[in-house]
Amino acid sequence: MTLDARFQLRVQRYGWDKAADHYEQFWQTQLAPAQARLLELAALKRGERVIEVACGTGLVTFPAARAVGPGGNVLATDISEVMVTRLKETADQQGLPNIATKRADAEALGVPEASFDVALCALGLMYVPDPFAAIREMHRALKPGGRAVVAIWGARSSCGWAEIFSIVDHFVQSEVCPMFFQLGGGDALRMAMTQGGFNDVVLERIATTLNYESGDDACGAVFAGGPVALAYSRFDDASRDAAHREYLDSIAEWKHGEGYQVPGEFVVASGTT
């Protein structure tokens, strides 16, 4: 792994540790259409063994664990220790012993080959330094005849909030999320999954709108609740104000009254081994 890739992993790991507290408040409703479609396409059955990559707080894990029932199980993995620790605590509180957790990089899950029926990855692949390696790793973890479903953000030109990355990059003089839109455009995700060994790859685009009640709400979501959280945590007050202003300017065309309705796009793809 290159130095750059190691740096990206650390930015994501510790960034999402910081974002964990704010994540569901800002993102649960906004991501629901992609997560729901991913679960529909996965068509989980009772008794299946599922591995989830980049599980976050468990918005996909919990419905998946209920769908496979007590005879099945979900191994929820994520690079962030805070995310997997919280997820396990919630699983225990909810009485779901069929959820296990593991802190793992999507590129090296550390699970035996051919040990799962289904692999799921919702809104995680954009942060991985080598998403092609992560796709191959899901393929490796699946049994023959297994299924994978992946959801990512779509094309940069369809995501009205896309300027957040260049705004933050300019303050920290580095790239906090260089691969974010790499697979979102055109047929890129289908090609990546096919190259990773998957068959019968089907890809769908879902247009969405991110609804924010206020500028504070819009800024909270992108600065504190997501992948730039580590960089943002180091901004002084003046830099925070300046970055907020730049970001709100970048989404000004979607301002309605006090709130914002920002366009976005998801891509969901499924394939079999």
Ligand X SMILES: C[S@@+](CC[C@H](N)C(=O)[O-])C[C@H]1O[C@@H](n2cnc3c(N)ncnc32)[C@H](O)[C@@H]1O
Neighbours of 135 (CB within 10 A): 30
- Smallest gap from Cβ 41 to ligand X, in A, equals 14
- DSSP collapsed to 3 states, 59-111: CCHHHHHHHHCCCCEEEEEECCHHHHHHHHHHHHHCCCCCEEEEECECCECCC
- Smallest gap from Cβ 153 to ligand X, in A, equals 9
From the list 159, 246, 148, the residue with the least C-alpha distance to 197 is 148
Phi-psi region of 47 (alpha: psi -120 to 50; beta: other; left: phi over 0): left
Pick 30 or 239: Cβ nearer ligand X = 30
- Smallest gap from Cβ 238 to ligand X, in A, equals 28
Dihedral of the CA atoms 166, 172, 174, 176 (nearest 10)?
-60
- Smallest gap from Cβ 205 to ligand X, in A, equals 18
Residue number with the shortest CB distance to ligand X? Answer: 56
Neighbours of 113 (CB within 10 A): 9
Q: Which residues bind ligand X (CB under 6 A)?
A: 9, 12, 16, 31, 35, 54-56, 59-60, 78-80, 83, 105-106, 122-124, 127-128
Query: How far, in Å, CA of 61 to CA of 214, rounded?
Result: 30
Residue 273 three-state SS: coil
Pick 24 or 187: Cβ nearer ligand X = 24
Residues 6+ apart with CB under 8 A from 9: 1, 79, 105, 129
Phi-psi region of 114 (alpha: psi -120 to 50; beta: other; left: phi over 0): left
- Smallest gap from Cβ 128 to ligand X, in A, equals 4
- Smallest gap from Cβ 242 to ligand X, in A, equals 25
Pick 74 or 122: Cβ nearer ligand X = 122
Pick 32 or 207: Cβ nearer ligand X = 32
Pick 131 or 160: Cβ nearer ligand X = 131
Pick 54 or 201: Cβ nearer ligand X = 54
